[in-house]
Structure formats: C-alpha cells, structure tokens
Amino acid sequence: MGCIIEFSESLIQFEFNSHSDKQKILVDVLLKYSDMSIEDLASFLEVSVKKLRDIQTGKGLFRGERANDLAQLFLVFFGRIFFTKFSIIRNY
C-alpha cells in the first residue's frame, strides 16, 4: 500500500503504511482541523462511526483500500491547506 503526492514545482514521494498510531493521528487531524464531523468522515470512508471511533482510540486499524483512502484524504486536506498547486497520482 502506498501513496504518492506530486507538487508542481518538485516531486515528493510519500509512502503511507498502516502501522501503529498513524491512522489514529490522521483521523484526529481530519476531525479537528477540517470541516468534517465523525459522521461525515465515516460516510466518506464507507465505514461505520463505531469503526472510525475504534481507529480514533487506537483499538482498530484500517487495511487495504480504506487505509489508502484515509491517507489520500489527509493528503488532499494537507495540500489544500498548505499548498496552492498540487495533484495526487494514485497507483492502481
């Protein structure tokens, strides 16, 4: 599982692996700093609110597509906040 983000001025590669507290941190950041509620985020990721709360408390872990979607959503949020020009290239 990986994700690459490309900025217009240069190329930066970011690999996301679903280990330890990384997903918990991403969920916390998205809920705290974006306009999404936990219900919105759960709906976007197509998971139950309970599953998302488990991730947020460190009692669960996304795997596969859900982990990838969470990482990409974070990168889109991060890019929108901090950079004016960016695009995401997803490997299938």
| Residue 41 and residue 52 in contact, taking contact as beta carbons nearer than 8 Å | yes
**Is 89 contained in some domain?**
no
Q: Which domain holds residue 77?
A: 21-84
Question: How many domains in the chain?
Answer: 1
pLDDT at 12: 46
- Express each pLDDT in 27-78 by its tens digit: 999 999 888 899 999 999 999 999 999 999 988 888 888 888 898 888 888 7
**Is 7 contained in some domain?**
no
Mean pLDDT for 12-23 is 61
What values do phi and psi take at 34, rounded to 5? -95, 180
What values do phi and psi take at 24, rounded to 5? -60, -45
> Rounded to two decimals, what is the model's pTM?
0.68
pLDDT at 89: 62
Give the distance, in angstroms, between the CA of residue 77 and the centroid of all CA atoms in the same chain.
8
CATH number of residue 77's parent domain: 1.10.260
**Is 37 contained in some domain?**
yes
What one-letter code names the amino acid at 73? L
pLDDT at 47: 94
